Chain A
């Protein structure tokens, strides 16, 4: 575990340009160890691009990303075993059973006692009855739980989540949020969450970073942002920023 004074994730003047189209335009932020932060913004705001650069999946055009002290993507193999990721848009092989998938990823992440870890996760995430079913035959809620088990296999210190509750019914989504909250609390993990769900963000995150067209237009606690915009909910703040071209930093 890194020292509390060193950010778990540090993003400095990060830029990503696809051909001539800017996706991320010089953003900077740092995530304190053990914090849970939301990355908000409309479609195309640069959330997924930012997360991909933090994971080392995408090379920045300019600027730097450091995770647990390692420069990404250059030094990614120093820290990838201490991170993990979950997104409904990235799937696990559908023909493999849940247990087979978890076993393969556990080996890739160098998990020490694989059988015990899968047992524990299956218990915590209520997957025990699903372990020997093909992943492709699970419902979307069950698949999300399996993907969450994959994301927690190595007990990551940094967990990146891209819309973890997208397409889930409210009950399952609530269940997933509770598990994430518990994991963060018990592990002291740093969590960065990209989401369109404002209720989720208000419940889970102590900090919100608003992105619009690749730039940070707001960075504060949910309460402070609501107060600054004079709005009752984060959803209304989101709409103000998205529609009005508003800047949460500059708002009265």
Chain B
């Protein structure tokens, strides 16, 4: 022991205590500001209500969509898991940039992997705060119970969350390397997934060459799986496994990109600055 105050850490070990410290830091922040809490619920609720009422209208006027009951609402809620998962990750990271605290963290014993795990945990907490109340609203307004999907929901959730983390890690690396000038990517990058992963329509709607692109993206399998479950009442395990395999590749690529960008930031000096 070199000091009577601080414990000697194992250099190679991941420390749950340091991860918990970072989660605590973000929890203190979320708790300290009611607008932050409100924002977590506000947009998912607006989205759900708008699409929910649209679906009610379509159901009353079109035979096929009447049979496809709930697919819009299901898509809205699953899309929110994907989008809010990434945003929850990225916003926690951006908080460090906004508060000019990043250098403090990078000069502390906190390891990048611990930082990333803490951000993942926070993305789940933020997601729960945002999506759970909205899911309950969907039951109250439209009688649509997302939780009724049971095991399938778990498979959808895990796959969407993995994609959101992979994208969140990559975007955080870009912001780390390029400063807050790259902040907008955190808010917009996920929207490219909206048309390509076929959130609201089947992959078959896309032109052939774009279908090939769509099948490279893990969430496409989740949204197709959701429609198969809700329209044909079939749980497509094969789609979930394919999504998982693609997610493994995407997550590894995101993590590798983050580490490379961190190394580059350590070379360029951008860790010392938090500005643009």
The minimal Cβ–Cβ distance linking A224 to chain B, given in whole angstroms, is 32
CA distance A15 to B75 in the complex (A): 55
Pairwise interchain contact B24-A111, C-beta atoms closer than 8 A: no
The minimal Cβ–Cβ distance linking A9 to chain B, given in whole angstroms, is 14
The minimal Cβ–Cβ distance linking B37 to chain A, given in whole angstroms, is 13
- Whether A82 touches B2, Cβ cut-off 8 Å, given contacts A75-B11, A90-B104, is yes
Any A CB within 8 A of the CB of B99: yes
Give every chain B residue within 8 A of A112 (Cβ-Cβ).
4-7
Any B CB within 8 A of the CB of A140: no
- Whether A78 touches B11, Cβ cut-off 8 Å, given contacts A59-B267, A104-B25, is yes
Any A CB within 8 A of the CB of B149: no
CA distance A112 to B5 in the complex (A): 6
Any A CB within 8 A of the CB of B22: yes
Give every chain A residue within 8 A of B268 (Cβ-Cβ).
18
CA distance A49 to B95 in the complex (A): 25
Interface size class of B (residues with CB under 8 A): 35 or more
Q: Which of A58, A82, A85 has the most CB of B within 10 A?
A: A58
CA distance A157 to B33 in the complex (A): 37
The minimal Cβ–Cβ distance linking A79 to chain B, given in whole angstroms, is 9
CA distance A56 to B109 in the complex (A): 11
Pairwise interchain contact B99-A105, C-beta atoms closer than 8 A: no
Which parts of B233-267 form the interface with A (CB within 8 Å)?
A: 263, 266-267
Give every chain A residue within 8 A of B24 (Cβ-Cβ).
103-104, 107
- Whether A91 touches B101, Cβ cut-off 8 Å, given contacts A96-B28, A104-B24, is yes
Out of B4, B8, B21, B95, name the residue touching A104 (CB < 8 Å): B21
Q: Please, what's the 1-or-0 string for A78-94, where 1 marks a CB less than 8 Å from any CB in chain B? A: 10111111010111111
Pairwise interchain contact B4-A57, C-beta atoms closer than 8 A: no
Q: How many A residues, CB 8 Å from partner?
A: 49
Give every chain B residue within 8 A of A177 (Cβ-Cβ).
none
CA distance A89 to B267 in the complex (A): 20
Which parts of B74-126 form the interface with A (CB within 8 Å)?
A: 95, 99-101, 103-111
Any B CB within 8 A of the CB of A66: no
Q: Please, what's the 1-or-0 string for A44-77, where 1 marks a CB less than 8 Å from any CB in chain B? A: 0000110010011111000000001000010101
Any B CB within 8 A of the CB of A95: yes
Pairwise interchain contact A108-B28, C-beta atoms closer than 8 A: no
A contact residues vs B (CB 8 Å cutoff): 1, 18, 48-49, 52, 55-59, 68, 73, 75, 77-78, 80-85, 87, 89-97, 100, 103-105, 107-112, 117, 134, 150, 153-157
Chain A: CB-nearest residue to B268: A18
Out of A68, A94, A96, A110, name the residue touching B7 (CB < 8 Å): A110
Pairwise interchain contact B266-A73, C-beta atoms closer than 8 A: yes
Sample (10) of A-B pairs whose CB atoms are under 8 Å apart? A1-B2, A52-B269, A57-B103, A57-B106, A80-B108, A82-B6, A97-B28, A103-B24, A108-B21, A112-B7
Chain A: CB-nearest residue to B100: A91
Out of B15, B32, B106, B108, name the residue touching A95 (CB < 8 Å): B32
Pairwise interchain contact B3-A155, C-beta atoms closer than 8 A: yes
Pairwise interchain contact B11-A109, C-beta atoms closer than 8 A: no
Any A CB within 8 A of the CB of B68: no
Pairwise interchain contact B25-A154, C-beta atoms closer than 8 A: no
The minimal Cβ–Cβ distance linking B50 to chain A, given in whole angstroms, is 32
Q: Please, what's the 1-or-0 string for B164-194, where 1 marks a CB less than 8 Å from any CB in chain A? A: 0000000000000000000000000000000
Give every chain B residue within 8 A of A95 (Cβ-Cβ).
28-29, 32-33, 99
Pairwise interchain contact A108-B18, C-beta atoms closer than 8 A: yes
Give every chain B residue within 8 A of A134 (Cβ-Cβ).
32
The minimal Cβ–Cβ distance linking B105 to chain A, given in whole angstroms, is 8
Out of A58, A90, A111, name the residue touching B6 (CB < 8 Å): A111
Out of A52, A73, A90, A107, name the residue touching B18 (CB < 8 Å): A107
The minimal Cβ–Cβ distance linking B112 to chain A, given in whole angstroms, is 11
Chain B: CB-nearest residue to A147: B104
- Whether A81 touches B104, Cβ cut-off 8 Å, given contacts A94-B99, A107-B24, is no
The minimal Cβ–Cβ distance linking B169 to chain A, given in whole angstroms, is 20
Pairwise interchain contact A58-B272, C-beta atoms closer than 8 A: yes
